Amino acid sequence: MALLDIRDLHLAMRSFDGEAHVLNGISLSVERRQVWGLVGETGCGKSLTGLSVSRLVPTPPGRYMRGEIRFDGRDLLAMPERQVAALRGTRIGMIFQDPTTNLNPAFRIGTQLVDVALAAARRKPGVLAGGGRRAAERLAVQMLEKVGIANAAERLQDYPHQFSGGMRQRVLIAMALVGQPDLLIADEPTTALDVSVQAQILRLIRSMVDEFDMGVLMITHNLGVVAQSCTHVAVMYAGNIVESGPVRDVLMHPRHPYTQALLAAIPTRGTARGALRGLAGAVPNLIAPPPGCRFAARCGRVSAACTVLPPLTGALHRTACHHADHADA
Amino acid sequence: MLRFVLRRLMLLVPVMFGLTVMMFIIARLLPGDPVGLAAGPNATQAEIAAYARDFGLDQPVWVQYGRYLWGLLHGDLGVSIFSRRPVLADLIAYLPATMELVFAAMALAVGLGIPAGLAAAVWRNRWPDYASRVAALAAISMPRFFLGLLLQLTFAMWLFWLPLGGRFPIILEPPPTVTGFLTLDALFAGDWEAFVTACRHLALPAIAMCLSPLATIMRMMRASTIEVLQQDYVMTARALGLPPRLIVFKYVAKNAVSATLTVIGLYFGWLLGGTVLVETVFDWPGIGLYATSAIVSQDFMPVIGVALVIGLMFMLVNLLVDVLYGVINPKVRYT
Ligand SMILES: Nc1ncnc2c1ncn2[C@@H]1O[C@H](COP(=O)(O)OP(=O)(O)OP(=O)(O)O)[C@@H](O)[C@H]1O
Ligand code: SF4
Ligand SMILES: [Mg+2]
């Protein structure tokens, strides 16, 4: 049984213009010690997928239309909020994009970390050896040391603004991991950081995977990040997963036209960063999306068959395309 | 931080100076014959002239002003031409009553307004929110003296629950003075009955004064809480597994209060100025009542003295608020 098993997840978000069908049948499963990269253009639904796993998408405006999010075999969407809340921090941890806005500016790092540790220990006694505030403070120091913060004991007294961006993200990682979660969701954990710091943070997350024996869902729009630190990757387009599988397979032998275009667009000297070379057209309107494959408007291989939504098929390396490129197989 | 406080204290000097100039000009521009009033209807012309000489009122205004400033530097706020008592002594006698009233009103406004605003934000667009919105509108739109009269009518003259006015019954022995606040002094003396008596007298004027700041603080707290609830770190706190109650009452509340603090400081000055009317309605023996009687008899030294005290208190309280703001909000740098 997979640690996380998302099955045919459909989510609609209400907005001023109408209800947008933003997740259109997401299927993805994550095992312990797997690091899944979730990539795709902005607005394709990466963050909403991640937030759904913690059940942090507000409903309304959100509405789950179909599907399941099985965590350890139990469907999170069918659970009452109290039970889901009990999983946060101790079973499912989260890191977000901007470490500046995700720490509370009015409280010391130590206060925040200790409170998170105490809350986790109440549900998972193994987290704190002795129990109590003293033990929580000791654990806080250990965690800060573990994520590479020097003078940890003293820095507990500091406020977030006294840390650099990279250090703040380390603190947030410490907070997400203090409850020893089985699954870590990292939503663009390095996007807001200096390039020089990004690699350090990625290495840190990677090193924690084995130590905590956890699975990771790492959201990013950077294929370089995926190549560097993921074991698996899922490529999203307009609310669908179009291709997924082991990193090596997907990046070396992409089968879906969108993945192929993405890889071709990786900036080499002389081309604009991130421009999708050879991809005309735009992402479809998700409020009244055309039936069939959502990539059809920009696809070079489109045919009459494409008016039916292609299912995600395959064993390990999976593709959702009627004309997937199996040249390598 | 110390340097910041010192600099702000230095700033008091020019402000106080400006206040004296303004008050002096206003006092002299107003028509009236204070000396004639003070000397009484049967005084002869010679008696009135002698009276004026006694108080230096025969001198040109700028000489009077110079003398006043000189006195001020020596802690002398002049003499009331009506009672012939030094203004400073009067202020020291009356100020505690006013401060007790203002603090009581402020304590009510903050103590009720902060939790009510927090509740209105957390249960936004549900009944706690609607109830507080209606109450706030009613409280803000009613003038204080009218509210005072209404309270008197209801609770003193109709229900007979509370006294009509005054601070402490003359026939009773007040507790020995320690702080000048009768409620606190009664507690220090261990005199429970005196404490209840003092509270019963304090209740109506304090309620009349607190409603408007209570409403404003509540609305401010609601708005800032709603803003804080939308911050990323609140979602993160939920994702990290912090219990909702801890998130609202600790993490959200502190951030929201720091935004509300400025209003609290401003209202303090507003309340001090507002005591004049409320003290008159409730016959509360503070500097407001003192100022009213001085104005009626065109007795200027007490009026200037009261204005100075209110200005000084206002500035000190706002300094305190700024310091508190820095304590709550660690990012603030004092420069
Ligand atoms: N609270 C919301 N209300 C309405 N629509 C929303 C809301 N949040 C997201 N959406 C819509 O859902 C879609 C997917 O959003 P999501 O945040 O998951 O994108 P993303 O892939 O994470 O993009 P990015 O790379 O920019 O973070 C977008 O089209 C967005 O406009
Ligand atoms: S299903 Fe059709 S339109 Fe969609 S990607 Fe494949 S070929 Fe293109
Ligand atoms: Mg996102």
pLDDT of residue B303: 87
- Looking from the CA of B334 toward its CB, the CA atoms found within 13 Å total 17
- Contact between A204 and A143 under an 8 Å Cβ cutoff? The reply is no
Residue B93's DSSP bridge partners are none
Quote the ipTM score: 0.88
Which ligand sits nearest to residue A306's alpha carbon?
2
Using a pLDDT cut of 90, give the percent of chain A over it.
57
Q: Which atom of ligand 2 is nearest to the CA of A242?
A: 5
Exposed/middle/buried for A183, CB within 10 Å: 0-12, 13-18, 19+? buried
pLDDT of residue A278: 57
The secondary structure of residue A187, as a DSSP letter, is E
CA dihedral B200, B205, B206, B212 (to 10 degrees): 150
pLDDT of residue A268: 57
Arithmetic mean of pLDDT, A249-274: 78
Arithmetic mean of pLDDT, B210-239: 92
Arithmetic mean of pLDDT, A261-271: 70
Structure tokens of A267?
Answer: 């900036």
Arithmetic mean of pLDDT, A287-294: 86
Q: Is A322 in the pocket of ligand 2 (CB under 6 A)?
A: yes
pLDDT band at A249 (very low <50, low <70, confident <90, very high): very high
**Which pTM was predicted?**
0.81
Query: Would you say residue B150 has pLDDT above 90?
Result: no
pLDDT of residue A267: 64
pLDDT band at A60 (very low <50, low <70, confident <90, very high): confident
Tracing tokens 């390039």 back to the chain, one arrives at: A195
Interval A224-235: pLDDT, tens: 889 989 999 999
| Residue in B125, B233, B240 to test binding to A, most A beta-carbons within 10 Å | B240
Q: Which of A113-122, A240-249, B17-26 has the lowest mean pLDDT?
A: B17-26
Structure tokens of B210?
Answer: 């607190």
**Distance of alpha carbon B245 from alpha carbon A41, whole angstroms:** 37
pLDDT of residue B146: 81
Q: Which of A276-280, B19-23, B152-156 has the lowest mean pLDDT?
A: A276-280
Query: Would you say residue A223 has pLDDT above 70?
Result: yes
Tell me if chain B has a CB within 8 Å of the CB of A176. yes
The secondary structure of residue A88, as a DSSP letter, is B
Of A94, A106, A175, the CB nearest to B328: A106
Interval A101-111: pLDDT, tens: 999 999 999 99
In chain A, the residue whose alpha carbon lies closest to the alpha carbon of B253 is A106
Tell me if chain B has a CB within 8 Å of the CB of A107. yes
pLDDT band at A322 (very low <50, low <70, confident <90, very high): very high
Of A98, A101, A176, the CB nearest to B240: A176
pLDDT of residue B297: 80
Average pLDDT score over chain A:
88
What sign results for the dihedral spanned by CA atoms B141, B144, B149, B152? Answer: positive
**Distance of alpha carbon B207 from alpha carbon B148, whole angstroms:** 8
Q: Is A301 in the pocket of ligand 2 (CB under 6 A)?
A: yes
Instruction: Work out whether strand A74-75 and strand A232-237 pair parallel, antiparallel, or are unpaired.
Output: unpaired
What sign results for the dihedral spanned by CA atoms B202, B208, B211, B213? Answer: negative
Query: Would you say residue B327 has pLDDT above 70?
Result: yes
Arithmetic mean of pLDDT, B284-307: 86
In chain B, the residue whose alpha carbon lies closest to the alpha carbon of A102 is B233
Interhelix angle for B144-151 vs B253-282, to 10°? 70
CATH 1.10.3720.10 is the classification of domain B91-328: yes
Q: What CA–CA distances, in Å, run from B125 to A15, B116, B139, B244?
A: 19, 14, 20, 19
**Distance of alpha carbon B314 from alpha carbon B273, whole angstroms:** 9
- A117 membership: H or E segment, kind and range: helix A109-123
3-state SS of chain B is CHHHHHHHHHHHHHHHHHHHHHHHHHHHHCCCCHHHHHHCCCCCHHHHHHHHHHCCCCCCHHHHHHHHHHHHHCCCCCECCCCCCEHHHHHHHHHHHHHHHHHHHHHHHHHHHHHHHHHHHHCCCCHHHHHHHHHHHHHHHCCHHHHHHHHHHHHHHHCCCCCCCCCCCCCCCCCCCCCCCHHHHHHHCCCHHHHHHHHHHHHHHHHHHHHHHHHHHHHHHHHHHHHHHCCHHHHHHHHCCCCHHHHHHHHHHHHHHHHHHHHHHHHHHHHHHHHHHHHHHHCCCCHHHHHHHHHHCCCHHHHHHHHHHHHHHHHHHHHHHHHHHHHHCCCCCCC
Query: Would you say residue B335 has pLDDT above 80?
Result: no
Interval B256-278: pLDDT, tens: 998 888 788 888 878 888 888 88
Query: Would you say residue B25 has pLDDT above 70?
Result: yes
pLDDT of residue B224: 92
Count how many residues are written for chain A: 329
Query: Would you say residue B334 has pLDDT above 70?
Result: no
In chain B, the residue whose alpha carbon lies closest to the alpha carbon of A96 is B236
Query: Would you say residue A259 has pLDDT above 80?
Result: yes
Q: Please name the residues in contact with A136: beta carbons below 8 A apart, sequence gap of 6 or more.
A: A114, A117, A118, A121, A128
pLDDT of residue A277: 54
pLDDT band at B326 (very low <50, low <70, confident <90, very high): confident
Arithmetic mean of pLDDT, A321-328: 80
Choose the most confident range, by mean pLDDT, from A204-218, B77-91, B149-163.
A204-218
Residue A47 CA to ligand 1 center (angstroms) comes to 7
Query: Would you say residue B302 has pLDDT above 90?
Result: no
**Distance of alpha carbon A124 from alpha carbon A159, whole angstroms:** 28
Tell me the nearest-neighbour CA distance from B238 into chain A, angstroms.
Answer: 8
**Distance of alpha carbon A91 from alpha carbon B96, whole angstroms:** 58
Which residues in B lie closer than 8 A to residue A88 (C-beta atoms)?
238-241
pLDDT of residue A79: 92
What sign results for the dihedral spanned by CA atoms B160, B165, B171, B173? Answer: positive
Residue A244 CA to ligand 2 center (angstroms) comes to 15
Hey, where are the domains in chain B? 18-73, 91-328
Interval B175-197: pLDDT, tens: 888 888 888 888 888 888 888 88
- Beta-carbon neighbour count of residue B238 at 10 Å? 19
Arithmetic mean of pLDDT, A289-311: 89
Interval B52-90: pLDDT, tens: 777 777 777 788 888 888 888 888 888 887 778 888 988
Interval A94-103: pLDDT, tens: 999 888 899 9
Q: Do B330 and A123 touch (CB under 8 A)?
A: no
